[in-house]
Each structure stands twice: as structure tokens, then as C-alpha cells.
């Protein structure tokens, strides 16, 4: 957790008040020395419903913000591995299967309750093709609002993407 002064020292009587302003987690680490400049620092969010697994991701260092849907949970975790997602926020209760998949994907798993979802004025949310990706995006934004609210204004307009719509030129 990062604490900062929350009052002007000139007006403080005694010790200047401090408060936690944000929490540093792998997906919201903005330390340029901790992250290689050529690699993205993705925070992902996963929302599941009867239609499948829905995924949103953001890079808080660049503002990139995208969402998509998958037919299965395994496909969503495969995308996490492919993109190198560092932290994944799951909407709902975590079970052993989810923990195992996250561990195999080398991703930190955090949870948030769907009751905590807030859209926080996400640009383009109403243009996503389905409710599932919108819910994943709201999950991600709600988590960011809780752990690092200052980065919310830096997110770009959300875009829907098709995971199979590109060509991998070089795979590591």
C-alpha cells in the first residue's frame, strides 16, 4: 500500500494526516524499473455466465483497454498466458479449480463481488456486442477504483477484440 499526505502541512496541527492512496499489485504496478519497457503490464478481469467466459484487460501504464468473450474458462486462461497477464480479477467466489488454473498460468488471482461493480463512466461500454464483456470490464474498473482510483481517467475507450483475428508473427 502507498500512503501519502492528505492535508496541507501548513494547516496541520501536529502530525500531518496520511492515508492509503493506492495499493500496488502486479497488475497495477506503475514502477518503470519493475516492468521492462517493451512489455505490457496487463491487469485482466474474468466474468462467467451461462454464455461463457468474458474477459477484459487493461494496461494501466499505456491506457490500453479491451474486452472479449470465450466459450470456455480454459480458453480465457490460455489468452491470459498468451498475453502475459500479471493479475486476474475474478467476479465472484474463487474455487480450487480456478486457483489451479491461475497458478498454472502464473497469474495472481484477486476476487471482487459482482455487487461492487461500477461502470465509472467507461467510454464505449454501451457499444460492446454483449453483456458478458461489459460485465468483465465493469469488474476490472471496479477493482481499479478500489485499489488505484487515480489510473481510471487514463484508460482509453474500451474496444471489443476477437482473439483469433490476428496473426502471431513470433511466439516466445
pLDDT tens readout for residues 14-49: 888 877 665 556 556 555 555 556 667 888 999 999
Query: What per-residue confidence (pLDDT) applies to 128?
Result: 85
Residue 89 — φ and ψ, nearest 5°? -100, 125
Distance linking the first and last C-alpha atoms of the chain: 33
Question: Which grid cell is 26?
Answer: 502486479
**Mean pLDDT over residues 53-62, rounded?**
90
Please count the helices (runs of H) and the strands (runs of E) in the chain.
Answer: 3, 8
**Mean pLDDT over residues 127-139, rounded?**
89
- Model's pTM, two decimal places? 0.75
Higher pLDDT, 164 or 142: 142
Q: Cα(89)–Cα(76) distance, rounded to whole angstroms?
A: 12
Confidence of residue 5 (pLDDT cuts 50, 70, 90): confident
Amino acid at each position: 500500500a502507498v500512503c501519502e499526505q492528505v492535508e496541507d502541512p501548513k494547516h496541520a496541527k501536529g502530525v500531518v494526516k496520511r492515508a492509503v492512496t493506492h495499493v500496488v499489485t502486479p497488475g497495477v504496478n506503475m514502477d518503470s524499473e519493475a516492468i521492462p519497457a517493451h512489455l505490457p503490464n496487463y491487469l485482466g478481469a474474468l466474468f462467467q455466465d451461462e454464455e461463457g467466459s468474458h474477459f477484459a484487460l487493461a494496461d494501466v501504464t499505456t491506457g490500453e483497454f479491451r474486452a472479449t468473450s470465450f466459450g470456455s474458462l480454459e480458453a480465457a486462461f490460455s489468452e491470459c498466458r498468451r498475453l502475459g497477464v500479471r493479475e486476474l480479477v475474478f467476479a465472484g467466489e474463487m474455487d480450487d479449480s480456478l486457483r489451479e488454473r491461475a497458478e498454472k498460468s502464473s497469474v495472481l488471482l484477486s476476487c471482487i463481488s459482482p455487487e461492487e461493480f461500477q461502470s465509472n463512466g467507461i467510454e464505449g461500454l454501451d457499444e460492446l456486442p454483449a453483456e458478458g464483456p461489459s460485465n468483465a470490464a465493469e469488474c476490472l474498473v471496479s477493482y481499479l477504483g478500489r485499489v488505484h482510483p487515480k489510473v481510471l481517467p487514463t484508460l482509453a475507450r474500451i474496444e471489443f477484440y476477437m482473439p483469433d483475428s490476428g496473426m502471431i508473427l513470433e511466439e516466445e
